[in-house]
Amino acid sequence: MTSAGLFISRSTSASASASTLLRLQRPAAQRLLAVPILRATTATHIASLTSTLPTTATKRTLTTTTSKMASDDSYMAFLNKANEDPSVGYPRDRPDPATQKVGGNGFKTRDEDVDLPSPIAKLLDKGDKFYVSDADEPFEGVALKYGGGSLPDEEKFASLINHPSPADAEIEISDPIDWDRNGDYTDLIDAVTEASEGKTVMVYRVKKDSVRVEYWVVSVSPDGKLLVGVRALAVES
């Protein structure tokens, strides 16, 4: 070969080597390009899956909502129980309510066609007379048809207020001075005394259950036809 021929041969060899190198490198390049495509596809797929799953915050919200609903139901059940008529379960041997007024606690305090004596009505109309106990309750006027010249005994009194079991009623009778040792209810006792025109005033303590009792401060009207006075519920736990 001439030196010129040798130059041509080397050039050709170099060109062939370059061509071979490109062929060898092309698959590697293609592989390098495929990697980010695969990664992008995988990331998109994972994002799609995770978007359908509830987050921790969502789970906490659902749990909180469920707990709140359960709490609300329990509270409403408690309120409904507390608002039940306390007389439920007692014998219903009371006169027709259409012909009488019945106290909110179940015992009768007023007959329908009987007016409350003026001294008692004026005092109670102020709306500030309460019996102080574990639960302060307002005093309520008493005006019941009676027809006796003196105050009734325990069983007769229980019948007048429509106690479900007069013979077994737990009733105690005491003097107003012993009942009101601190003088907290002097104006009420005076009003009952005035309504009876000076007749004897006594306090009847009627037990309702283990913690609730009622105090009835009563006397007899001047003509003896009515039992008049005031009544209040007390909670003594």
pLDDT digits (tens, 9 = 90+) for 65-93: 455 555 667 767 766 766 665 444 433 33
| Dist CA 160 CA 111 (whole Å) | 10
Q: How many CB atoms lie within 10 A of CB 146?
A: 20
Which residue reads 């592989």 in tokens?
31
pLDDT at 85: 53
How many percent of the chain have pLDDT more than 70? 57
Q: The domain 97-235 belongs to what CATH superfamily? A: Nuclease A inhibitor-like (3.40.1460.10)
At residue 17 the predicted structure's pLDDT band, cuts being 50, 70 and 90, is very low
| pLDDT number for residue 136 | 93
Q: In what order do the strands lie in the sheet with 171-174?
A: 100-102, 108-111, 140-145, 226-235, 212-220, 202-207, 171-174
Q: How far apart are CA 51 and CA 58, in angstroms?
A: 12
φ and ψ of 223, to 5 deg: -85, -5
Q: pLDDT grade, residue 106 (50/70/90)?
A: confident
Q: Which of 187, 189, 224 is nearest to 203 (CA)?
A: 189
**So what's the pLDDT on residue 138?**
97
- pLDDT value of residue 84: 60
Residue 24, both tokens: 């060898």
Take residue 171 and report the two structure tokens written for it: 């009733």
Domain assignments of the chain as residue spans, ordered by start: 3-82, 97-235
Q: What is the pLDDT of residue 77?
A: 73
Report the sign of the C-alpha dihedral through residues 226, 227, 230, 235, in that order: negative
DSSP annotation of 167: G
| Tokens 């325990």, residue located | 154
Dihedral sign from CA coordinates of 25, 29, 30, 35? positive
Q: Is the pLDDT at 104 greater than 50, yes or no?
A: no
Residue 123 predicted with pLDDT over 60: yes
Per-residue confidence at 237, pLDDT binned at 50, 70, 90? confident
With CA atoms as reference, report the closest residue to 214 among 226, 206, 222, 224: 206
Q: What is the pLDDT of residues 160-210, one digit of tens each?
A: 999 999 999 999 999 999 999 999 999 999 999 999 999 999 999 999 999
